Structure 1
Amino acid sequence: MFATATRNFVEEVDHGGLLIPVSSLNDTIALLTVVVKRKRFWFWQRPKYIPTDFTLNDILTGDTPIQPGVIELDFIKYNGTFGDNISGTVDAKFPLSGVSLEGKDSSKLQSSFGSLKKDEVDVQKLLRDSKERLLDMSHCLVQQTKEKHKQSFGIVKERIVTTQPCSVIEEVQQGGQCGAGLSLCGPKTPKFSLKENGNLSKDSNVTMEIPIHTTIAYALIELEIKHDGRFGLCLMSDTRGGFEVDGPAKKGLSGASASENSHLTQELEGLSNHFQLLSALPANTKSALLKQITKVMEDRGAVSPLQSVLDQVCLDKRPALSDVTATESQKQSIQAILDLLEGSDQEGSRPVLTALHLVISAMDEMKSDCLAVLGTCCSLPVLEALELLVQCVSGEGELPLSGAGRAALTDDVYEKSQRLFASSNVSLKRDGDTVKTEIKQLPGHLPLVLCIAVRGLASLAG
């Protein structure tokens, strides 16, 4: 709840900016706190930020601490409500079961942070005070961070802090009618009633009280560190920090391209083998994976823990679910997916794991409203329509509404598609018998991650 609330806050007030949402109430974020920035598996993923228990002064040589000048400013008064209402009828045929589901779901997350303030470091004073200082390169935190690939240091230069006790409230209501066996399709907690050809209902209302002086978001200055401990502050937003390396540094994975459309085409073609691997899985495994992934998408907070677990598995580590920050129902969903992957354990299963990791990582990069809409699109006809639109976005930008296009893009599907693509900085417009797509200026990686998620889900549904 807290992580979702802070992520929504940053998306609303500083989308594409420098603010980083705090993901856990256990994180203590003060000015000059050292934060480890770790690059992720896929180039388009946002870095992972890991707050440490140390400040800049703790890893400096010498006995004289830096005293930062602090500027306090009123920020904004923030109360946000995010939610969706979903209704519809689904008929699905799977190898092991047939399901019909009729229902109405609604969820609401209300974040009442109240009046917020911003604490800022006086960067000019920090520059003067740190000019002749050295990092202690023998410090355990410096040694451990330097040894690991793709990690760097940042220090907290500003933070957004609550000024009064506040709350985050989550309300969920689910109701409907189910037919046939529905053992894998029920709600996510034991608080439900379910019968064959019966009714399904669930209501929950959870309130989290947030204490005063809680940091909900922060921004960093990255450090560029030399072998001898000298360091510089990266003051420009496009300047990246890191440790000095021996020999030339490797260049990034993504270069400039002629257009956003051709860029998308190149990236998706490079990933096509992953989608083919998912499509080639046995039908039973594909349908079970799709059901479990759909269940995870219904609970936005479950996507990030699943992505983190798959991170560990891809690194040949065995993650302990007891150490994962997630609810019991989320852990059950994650374990079900891991069990399915183990059940398909055979030669070549590692590439399948990487392919699924790709798709879940793309979902984790999506905006909350985009993921919520995508979660309602996991039937085969809708995914086929979305895949046609993905081909359109990454191709010529036009889809004739004839033949397969006309049959797939019903009014209801088109309306959902418009919302979905708009959340990813892509516009859809009907022009006579043609649907035209246009990628907005400075779209970031959102169009790419949407295309990856759609292609992945369609591979499992096909």
Structure 2
Amino acid sequence: MFATATRNFVEEVDHGGLLIPVSSLNDAINLLTVVVKRKRFWLWQKPKYLPTDFSLNDILTGDTSIKPGVVETDFIKFNGTYGDNIQGNLDANFVNSNVSLQGKDSSKLQSSFGSLKKEEVDVQKLLRDSKDRVLDMSHCLVQQTKEKHRQVFGIVKDRIVTTQPCSVIEEVQQGGQCGAGLSLCGPKRTKISLKENASLSKDSNVTMEIPMQTAIAYALIELEIKQDGHYELCLMSDTTGGFEVDGPARKGLFGVSEASASENNHLGEELERLSDHFQLLSALPATTRSSLLQQITKVMEDRGAVGSLQNVLDQMCLDKRPDLQDVSTTESQKQNIQAILDLLEQSGQVGSAQAATSVLTALHLLTSAMDEMTNDCLSALRMCCALTVLHTLELLVQCVSGKGEMPLSSAGLAALTDDVFEKTEHLFASSNVSLKRVEDTVKTEVKHQPGYLPLVLCIAVRGLASLAHCV
């Protein structure tokens, strides 16, 4: 809830910039706090930032502390409201019964941060004070970070803080009706039986009071660290830090090097390289694919739940056993995530020797793409998760990564009605891809902008469509 609110804030005020949203109220973000920046699994994933309990002074040698000059300025007054309304109907005919389902979900997240201020370190003074200073290379934090070559140090150079008590309010309304009889039973879940004309409803209203002087976003300066502990500040945004690597054969710095923006004309090559993962998803039993698609679609209703699912799968890819009690999302979403984990376990392929092509890796690929989407793009994709629409989106992805156009008469584009086209056009536009109908042809064009949004969209669509094959 708090993480979603801060992510919304950063996306609104500094999209594509240097600000990093604070993900937990437990994170003590002060100026000169040491933050570990960790490279993720996939090229397009943003780094993960892990605030530590140490400041720069804690890991320096010597008794003289660096006292940063601090400049405070008024930032902005921020109040935002974000909401979704979802309605759906399903009529199904079975051998001995007819089922009619109706559902309606609505959610609203209101972030009332009020007047915010910005605290900035005087970088010129920090440069002077850092001259000839040396890190304690025997410090446990330095040792543990250096051992993992995917991680580098950054220090907080500015932060955005609240100036008054404020609040984040989340309201959720869920309701559904069912005609005739239906039994719902998921793996290791409680069985639910709905009788004729039964209905379910659930409302929740959660208010989180946030005290003044709470950091909601921050920016870093990365450190380029030599073997002897001397360090330099990476002042340019395109300069990254790291630890100097031991040994004459590996000179230079090993750290998180920011990958250049993906070449849009290489979309086809990237998707082909990942095709084994999509094929693995489509080869799952139909019931497993159907259940996975259903549960993932539910998780997509909550931006924070997508991030939570991604974090759980991150841990599993590192052979760690995740604890859902530590997951910060609603109980309902925890159940959805648990259902996905149960389905993965039932697939019988988690933990196999072929980790690179396991179902876990394939699902991690899909969720990593969804987690990198903007709020607008994720919301638009969720509205396009009907089976026929996913098949159509998959064809359009082939168009994007191929020649860039195809006739509207192509098999599979029949679902591209005016209403569906409008939703699809918005989805593609939110990922820097234009979609147009020109006479009897549909044309796509990738806009040449920094970032991986077109690739992320293509991966998410291919992954979801793989689960929708022949369902």
Q: Which residue of 2 aligns with 1:311?
A: 314
CA distance in 2, matches of 1:196, 1:266: 51
Q: Which residue of 1 aligns with 2:168?
A: 168
2:222–2:240 CA contact under 8 A, matched in 1 = yes
Paired letter, 2:404: G
CA distance in 2, matches of 1:55, 1:193: 55
Matched, 1:378 2:378: no
Matched positions, count: 455
What pairs with 1:196-235 in structure 2 (closer than 5 Å)?
A: 196-235=196-235
Q: Which residue of 2 aligns with 1:293?
A: 296
Task: Give the CA deviation at 1:427.
Answer: 2.0
Q: Which moved more, 1:323-332 or 1:208-217?
A: 323-332
Unmatched segments (≥5 aa) in structure 1: none
Counterparts in 2 of 1:368 and 1:177: CA distance versus 1, 3 Å? same
Paired letter, 1:216: I
Q: Which moved more, 1:318-327 or 1:245-254?
A: 245-254
What pairs with 1:95-106 in structure 2 (closer than 5 Å)?
A: 100-106=100-106
Query: What is the aligned counterpart of 2:323 among 315, 320, 323?
Result: 320
Task: Give the CA deviation at 1:252.
Answer: 6.8
CA distance in 1, matches of 2:338, 2:305: 12
Paired letter, 2:135: L
Q: Which residue of 1 aligns with 2:444?
A: 437
- Deviations for 1:254-286, whole angstroms, at most 9, x for unmatched residues? 6677x51x2211111110010001111111211
Task: Give the CA deviation at 1:377.
Answer: 2.3
Task: Give the CA deviation at 1:196.
Answer: 4.4
Counterparts in 2 of 1:358 and 1:100: CA distance versus 1, 3 Å? farther
CA distance in 2, matches of 1:329, 1:354: 25
Paired letter, 1:439: V
Counterparts in 2 of 1:444 and 1:99: CA distance versus 1, 3 Å? farther
1:167–1:208 CA contact under 8 A, matched in 2 = yes
1:182–1:196 CA contact under 8 A, matched in 2 = no
- Deviations for 1:212-267, whole angstroms, at most 9, x for unmatched residues? 1110000000000000000000000000101111305689796677x51x221111
Matched, 1:369 2:372: no
* Partner secondary structure for residue 414 of structure 2: helix
Q: Which residue of 2 aligns with 1:279?
A: 282
CA distance in 1, matches of 2:390, 2:107: 23
CA distance in 2, matches of 1:104, 1:60: 56
Matched, 1:397 2:398: no
CA distance in 2, matches of 1:121, 1:93: 66
* Partner secondary structure for residue 334 of structure 2: helix
CA distance in 1, matches of 2:170, 2:39: 32
Q: Which moved more, 1:389-398 or 1:224-233?
A: 389-398
Q: Which residue of 2 aligns with 1:107?
A: 107
Query: What is the aligned counterpart of 1:356 among 325, 350, 363?
Result: 363
Matched, 1:87 2:90: no
CA distance in 2, matches of 1:65, 1:98: 74
Paired letter, 2:182: G
Task: Give the CA deviation at 1:299.
Answer: 2.4
Q: Which residue of 1 aligns with 2:241?
A: 241
CA distance in 2, matches of 1:93, 1:426: 39
Counterparts in 2 of 1:313 and 1:380: CA distance versus 1, 3 Å? same
Q: TM-score, normalised by structure 1?
A: 0.92
Task: Give the CA deviation at 1:182.
Answer: 5.7
What pairs with 1:64-213 in structure 2 (closer than 5 Å)?
A: 64-91=64-91, 100-179=100-179, 180-181=181-182, 183=184, 195-213=195-213
Q: Which residue of 2 aligns with 1:43?
A: 43
- Deviations for 1:301-320, whole angstroms, at most 9, x for unmatched residues? 21111111111111122222
Task: Give the CA deviation at 1:195.
Answer: 4.4
Task: Give the CA deviation at 1:405.
Answer: 4.8
Q: Which moved more, 1:7-16 or 1:431-440?
A: 431-440
Paired letter, 2:40: R
Task: Give the CA deviation at 1:127.
Answer: 0.3
- Deviations for 1:389-429, whole angstroms, at most 9, x for unmatched residues? 11111112223211325412112221211221122122222
What pairs with 1:259-278 in structure 2 (closer than 5 Å)?
A: 260=264, 262-278=265-281
1:5–1:168 CA contact under 8 A, matched in 2 = yes
Task: Give the CA deviation at 1:52.
Answer: 0.4
Task: Give the CA deviation at 1:98.
Answer: 8.4
1:35–1:153 CA contact under 8 A, matched in 2 = yes
1:118–1:158 CA contact under 8 A, matched in 2 = yes
2:407–2:442 CA contact under 8 A, matched in 1 = yes
Task: Give the CA deviation at 1:329.
Answer: 2.6
- Deviations for 1:146-201, whole angstroms, at most 9, x for unmatched residues? 1113000000000000011111111222334334526369xx9xxx9964443332
The root-mean-square deviation of aligned C-alpha atoms, in Å, is 2.6
* Partner secondary structure for residue 113 of structure 1: strand
Q: Which residue of 2 aligns with 1:457?
A: 464
Query: What is the aligned counterpart of 1:425 among 416, 432, 439?
Result: 432
1:193–1:199 CA contact under 8 A, matched in 2 = no
1:87–1:103 CA contact under 8 A, matched in 2 = yes
Counterparts in 2 of 1:109 and 1:16: CA distance versus 1, 3 Å? same
Q: Which moved more, 1:223-232 or 1:445-454?
A: 445-454
CA distance in 2, matches of 1:277, 1:217: 39
